[in-house]
Structure 1
Amino acid sequence: MPLRRTPPKNTATGSDIDGASGFLSDSQVTDVSHNINTARLKRKRDSDIHEFMIEMRNAFSNFTQEQNSKFLKLESTLSENSQALKDIQVSNRCIEEAISFMSAQYDEFRTKINTLEDQMVQDRNYINTLENKIEELQRDSRKTNFEIKNVPKKPKETKEDLVNMIIGLSKTIDCPISKSDIKDTYRVRGKSENAANSPVIVETTSTLIKADIQKMCRAFNTRNKVNLCAKHLGLTIAEDTPIYVGEHLTPRATRLHFLARELKKSGAFKYCWTSYGKVYLRKTDDSKVILINSEVQIHQLSQQQK
């Protein structure tokens, strides 16, 4: 069945033609010209869009090819460096294992060192305890002894000569003793065989005798302008050689007594003395008495005075 189209409303009819000459009117000419220009512009626009799409396709294709080329180069480079990376990874693992081993060794050594340090502290404390006990034993064994320093040595000196010197000293200071009061006496060996005036040690039978002799010796030196000397021992050689009677101190106490005397000489303390093998200091007549137990204590006292 044939289709029929309704003619457009604006379609020109025979009555619109200017007379019978068949020419278009001005308005009709304008409409035709506008339609022609519109068609041309549409074709041009379609052509521009088509060209733009072609350019975009080409640009995208070039970009894709360039990216593929770069990717291939990167893949090639990674492939070349793959072995190097593997070697580095192996080296890193070896380093990590070495560091872990060294860390474990360090921890083990640190633990051993801490254990040894703790043991050293314990040993030091134990040694100090033993030294104090030995000091007490030595001091107890010497509690009845006294010492005469700077005694001239007689030629071919015998123990009997020493006993006679001690008895002569006791008579001089008005504290006479007998031979039975002397348990033993001997001269301390010097650093060399020819050492002169080495100390003489006297062991009495009781601490009372020792204390009385020391007390009377101090009293004698206080009463007389001339202090005790060799002639008061009954010696006829080097008679004017001064002698000193004091306690028979242990090596440790002797050292402490020396350092305490040096501290007294510096003017920091007024009094320094020994009693029953112990060393004491006193700063003034009214200050408390300080018992010296160690060299560290003397060092601390010295620092306090500065």
Structure 2
Amino acid sequence: MPACSQCSQVLKRTQKTVTCRTCEKVFHPACASLNAADLQLLEDTSRAWNCATCIAKCRSTRGDDTPIKALDPGSLYDKSQREVSNPILKELLDRVKVIQENQSELVNSLKNDISELKKVISTWESLINEHSKTISLIIESLSNISGKFDGMVAENEILLKRVANLEAQLNTWEQDSLRNVVEIHGIPFKSDEVLETLVCQVGLGLGVKLDASDVDYAYRLKARSNLPNNRPPSIRVRFMRSNLAREILEARKAKRSFSTRDIGFSDSPNYPIYVNESLSALNRKVYAKARELKKNGKLKYLWIRGGKIFARECDGSERILLRTEGDLHALQ
């Protein structure tokens, strides 16, 4: 590969070079004191170039008194004074100017867009900061509400327990007030019946001596449509003394069979007569649901004693006192 005639370095194919028209020596443009504009001018005008050595020889041959100097590359292309004579070069320069103007306009437009974008970003940052503060306040409020709600839940649980205890106490008082009361089931209704007399007949049939003065009050309960075989409504009786109620109950338990024939009802079908303790409204509800559990096999034994409801799940299991509906949930 050729070498530069000035610096003797190898000239690469990828490098730009300049060749002297006279001696045909090859140089680096920089070694020949040529810049990029000079090279472009030589290429556009197709002008030949001579190295400094050949120019000095040419001047010596002409007898030129001017000191021998290398060609000033700036003299080949003076941007401030030279008029471009080549139309193609002029057109290229005009296009470059247009491109520069367009670039300037584009740069100004981009600057304006960037400025507007910065304003928008600044606005959004302010909005985001405001929203962040609002969200923080909402989270704080929710935290406070959650704490209050937890406190209310705990307080509600305490109140529910108190209500349950009060309900149990009220039920106990109500049931205690029914110690003198029994309910007689199975006696047919007659239009001319005197209930106090019927109660005395029941006592006589059970071996308990009763007098009308022993009965505080007696009345039939409302008829229920769900009673089987159109059974007559029950008779609720309140005795003057609680021991009379216990005697009637114990006598009925001791007598295996007791029916309307035993109290002189020979002119009507024979119906069994039952005597049960009278239950409070809550105990009635608990007893009805307990009977459903017994029917479904959840309970094996179910009975009432002293106004209290007891149950056993199976033989040998512990006796369970059913006071409220909550006591039934564990059995379901």
TM bucket normalised to smaller: 0.5 to 0.7
1:290 and 2:323 correspond: no
Is 1:177 equivalent to 2:210 in the alignment?
A: yes
Shift of 1:41: 4.7
More deviation, 260-269/206-215? 260-269
Alignment match, 2:246:
211
Q: Secondary structure at the match of 1:104?
A: helix
Residues of 2 paired with 1:46 and 1:238: CA distance? Answer: 147
How far did 1:256 drift? 2.1
* Structure 2: distance between partners of 1:284 and 1:83: 82
Cα distance, 1:75–1:168 mapped onto 2, change above 3 Å: same
**What is the 5 A alignment of 1:35-46?**
41-42=6-7
Partner SS state of residue 116, structure 2: helix
The answer for the alignment partner of 2:39 in structure 1 is none
Of the three residues 82, 90, 98, the one matched with 2:134 is 98
Instruction: Give the SS at the match of 1:184.
Output: strand
Taking the aligned partners of 2:316 and 2:258, their CA distance within structure 1 comes to 30
Quick one: distance in 1 between partners of 2:34 and 2:154?
Answer: 87
Deviations, residues 220-269 of structure 1 (Å, cap 9, x unaligned): 2x2xxxx4334444457744233321000112212222232333334444
In the alignment, the residues of structure 2 paired with residue 214 and residue 96 of structure 1 have an alpha-carbon distance, to the nearest angstrom, of: 76
CA contact 1:183–1:204 (8 Å) conserved in 2: yes
Could you list the runs of 5+ residues in structure 1 that have no partner in the other structure?
A: 1-38, 56-64
Match of residue 273 from structure 1: 303
The 3 A distance-change label for structure 1 pair 215 and 40 is: closer
Deviation for aligned residue 1:42 = 4.2
- TM-score between both structures, scaled by the size of structure 1: 0.66
2:171 is aligned with 1:135 = yes
Q: Secondary structure at the match of 1:301?
A: coil
TM superposition shift of 1:162: 1.0
Whole-Å Cα distance in 1 between the matches of residues 315 and 150 of structure 2? 49
* Structure 1 equivalent of residue 44 of structure 2: none
The answer as to whether partners of 2:5 and 2:27 remain within 8 angstroms in 1 is no
Partner residue, 2:158:
122
CA 94–236 in structure 1, closer or farther in 2 if over 3 Å, else same: farther
Structure 2 residues not aligned, in runs of 5+: 9-24, 37-99
Superposed, 1:1-306 pairs within 5 Å as 41-42=6-7, 50=31, 54=35, 75-155=111-191, 157=193, 161-190=194-223, 197-220=232-255, 222=256, 227-235=257-265, 238-284=268-314, 286-302=316-332
What is the aligned partner in structure 1 of residue 54 from structure 2? none
Question: How far, CA to CA, are the matches of 2:34 and 2:151 in structure 1?
Answer: 84
Distance 1:284 1:40 in 2: 122
Counterpart Cα distance in 1 of 2:305 and 2:33: 120
Answer yes or no: is the 8 Å Cα contact 1:150–1:199 preserved in 2. Answer: yes
Q: Distance in 1 between matches of 2:323 and 2:33?
A: 107
Larger helix fraction of residues: 1
Write the letter of the residue equivalent to 1:119. E
Question: Percent identity, aligned pairs only?
Answer: 22
SS at match of 1:105: helix
- 4+ runs deviating over 6 angstroms: 43-46, 68-73
Instruction: Label 1:111 to 1:146 Cα distance change in 2 as closer, same or farther (>3 A).
Output: same
Deviations 1:26-85 (A, max 9, x none): xxxxxxxxxxxxx95548999555479956xxxxxxxxx9xx979867544321312222
Q: Which amino acid aligns with 1:145?
A: V
Distance 1:253 1:275 in 2: 12
Q: Within 2, Cα distance between the matches of 1:174 and 1:166?
A: 12
> 2:33 & 2:313 partners in 1: Cα distance?
112
TM-score (norm 2): 0.61
Match of 1:18 in 2: none
Equivalent residue, structure 1, for 2:73? none
Is the Cα–Cα contact under 8 Å of residues 220 and 235 in structure 2 kept in the other structure? yes
